[in-house]
């Protein structure tokens, strides 16, 4: 029962939502890398709740690196990051600890951990654990950015409100990513932002929640990255993205829409652009055989409506084994899709750095 993932670069996640603290251990980083702390803190800010479209719980997310970083450089030994939990209200959960919240991990955690799990705020299953994921991913992301590899995501859809899609033009794509990575609620069509926020607020007023789709793209990843069969780009990124609470689906390139087309319609034909190999279309999302082909990698992630809603719901009392009715208390997000965007970027960075390190070696990270 491990909370560790990765081959050349591995991360171990630890802590609970209402415990003393949370954190992450990163192993496999090259020595001699200088970290941009302002960038990491900025990324953590993008994950924080803000306004009526998020939970009222506010945590400082102050990052404390306790090992693996000395004299402003990575040492090459495991890098450990700790974050304190300070704004908890655990009494909100003690009254309902035997009531299994619908679509939460309460029941399954009871079955797996025999009732010894920390149930407060979702415990180890809480979205609170995505804060150290963002910290780790921000370290990986800044290493990738130095290599010219950029990752960007936007809110593609909330209910029936649909944002524009990424441009196929690489220069425009880079500009879109650059602008979005500094936005708390990133969309490509600014008119959709206000409509989406109003929709979230409307459901929040009703004591309900909404889900959404996040579209991501990766540009300038060299061709030849990926370790088939079981560590293909799709395999690695999917496993990491599905570790984010609330994620229920992922598709690469055209994804499920492939079913509506023939091979002659969707095959990505190759052509030479001077000395560079490119494809005329990118329906496969920049991946063939689990390996990058040099085109932008595109994917979409579906997040379900937040499970914690204020409406009354049918459930069971796990202790008495009786049917009952639950109405939760506490502080909860009416939507997590906007906060999850930076988490998705972060775990993508972790997965890509792992795959790149497997291909080029860990000293590649430190090469200028």
Q: In this predicted model, what pLDDT tens digit does every residue of 127-175 receive, in sequence order?
A: 899 999 999 999 999 999 999 999 999 999 999 999 999 998 888 998 8
- DSSP string computed for 232-280: -HHHHHHHHHTTSTTEEEEEETTGGGGGGS-HHHH---EEEETTEEEES
Least confident of 83-87, 104-108, 154-158, 223-227: 83-87
Does 88 have pLDDT greater than 80?
Answer: no
Does 202 have pLDDT greater than 80?
Answer: yes
Mean pLDDT of 347-367: 95
- Report the binding-site residues for FMN: 124-126, 289, 304-308, 331
Question: Nearest 5°: phi and psi at 299?
Answer: -155, 160
DSSP one-letter code for 231: B
Q: In this predicted model, what pLDDT tens digit does every residue of 286-339 receive, in sequence order?
A: 999 999 999 999 999 999 999 988 899 999 999 999 999 998 877 788 999 999
Question: Nearest 5°: phi and psi at 328?
Answer: -75, 160
Cis peptide before 229 (omega within 30 of 0): yes
Does 78 have pLDDT greater than 90?
Answer: yes
- Report the binding-site residues for NADP(+): 47, 52
Give the C-alpha separation, 230 to 12, whole Å: 20
Whether 22 contacts 81, CB under 8 Å: no
Map out the domains of the chain as residue ranges.
Answer: 4-366
Give the C-alpha separation, 159 to 151, whole Å: 25
Q: In this predicted model, what pLDDT tens digit does every residue of 32-71 receive, in sequence order?
A: 999 999 999 999 999 988 877 877 666 678 899 999 999 9
Q: In this predicted model, what pLDDT tens digit does every residue of 206-245 receive, in sequence order?
A: 999 999 999 999 999 999 999 999 999 999 999 999 999 9
Residue 91: band (very low, low, confident or very high) from pLDDT cuts 50, 70, 90: low
**Tokens 């220069």, located at residue:** 171
pLDDT over 90 percentage in the chain: 79
Model pLDDT, residue 360: 97
Tell me the torsion sign for CA atoms 169, 170, 176, 179: negative
Element at 291 (helix H, strand E): strand 291-292
Model pLDDT, residue 368: 67
- Report the binding-site residues: 47, 52, 124-126, 289, 304-308, 331
Model pLDDT, residue 56: 63
DSSP one-letter code for 227: B
pTM of the model: 0.94
pLDDT over 70 percentage in the chain: 96
CATH class of the domain whose range is 4-366: alpha beta
Mean pLDDT of the chain: 93
Model pLDDT, residue 168: 83
């Amino acid at each position: 029962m491990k909370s560790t993932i990765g081959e050349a670069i591995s991360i171990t996640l630890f802590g609970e939502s209402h415990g003393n603290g949370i954190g992450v251990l990163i192993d496999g980083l090259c020595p001699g890398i200088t970290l941009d702390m302002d960038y990491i803190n900025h990324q953590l800010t993008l994950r924080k709740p803000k306004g009526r479209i998020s939970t009222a719980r506010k945590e400082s997310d102050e990052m404390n690196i306790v090992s693996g970083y000395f004299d402003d450089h990575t040492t090459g030994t495991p890098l450990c990051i700790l974050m304190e939990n300070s704004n908890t209200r655990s009494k909100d959960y003690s009254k309902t600890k035997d009531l299994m919240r619908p679509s939460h991990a309460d029941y399954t955690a009871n079955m797996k951990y025999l009732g010894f799990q920390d149930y407060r705020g979702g415990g180890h299953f809480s979205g609170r654990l995505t804060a150290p994921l963002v910290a780790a991913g921000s370290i990986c992301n800044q290493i990738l950015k130095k290599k010219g590899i950029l990752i960007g995501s936007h809110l593609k859809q909330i209910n029936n409100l649909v944002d524009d899609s990424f441009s196929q033009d690489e220069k425009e794509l880079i500009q879109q990513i650059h602008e979005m990575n500094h936005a708390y609620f990133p969309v490509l069509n600014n008119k959709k932002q206000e409509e989406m926020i109003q929709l979230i607020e409307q459901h929040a007023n009703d004591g309900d929640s909404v889900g959404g789709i996040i579209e991501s793209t990766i540009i300038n990843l060299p061709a030849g990255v990926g370790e088939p069969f079981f560590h293909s780009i799709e395999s690695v990124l999917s496993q990491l993205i599905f570790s984010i609470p609330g994620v229920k689906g992922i598709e690469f390139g055209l994804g499920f829409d492939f079913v509506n087309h023939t091979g002659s319609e969707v095959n990505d034909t190759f052509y030479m652009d001077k000395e560079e190999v490119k494809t005329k279309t990118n329906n496969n999302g920049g991946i063939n055989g689990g390996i990058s082909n040099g085109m932008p990698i595109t994917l979409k992630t579906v997040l379900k409506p937040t499970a914690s809603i204020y409406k009354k719901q049918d459930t069971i009392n796990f202790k008495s084994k009786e049917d009952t009715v639950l109405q939760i208390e506490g502080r909860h997000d009416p939507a997590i899709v906007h906060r999850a965007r930076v988490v998705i970027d972060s775990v993508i960075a972790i997965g890509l750095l792992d795959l790149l390190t497997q291909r080029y070696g860990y000293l590649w990270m430190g090469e200028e």
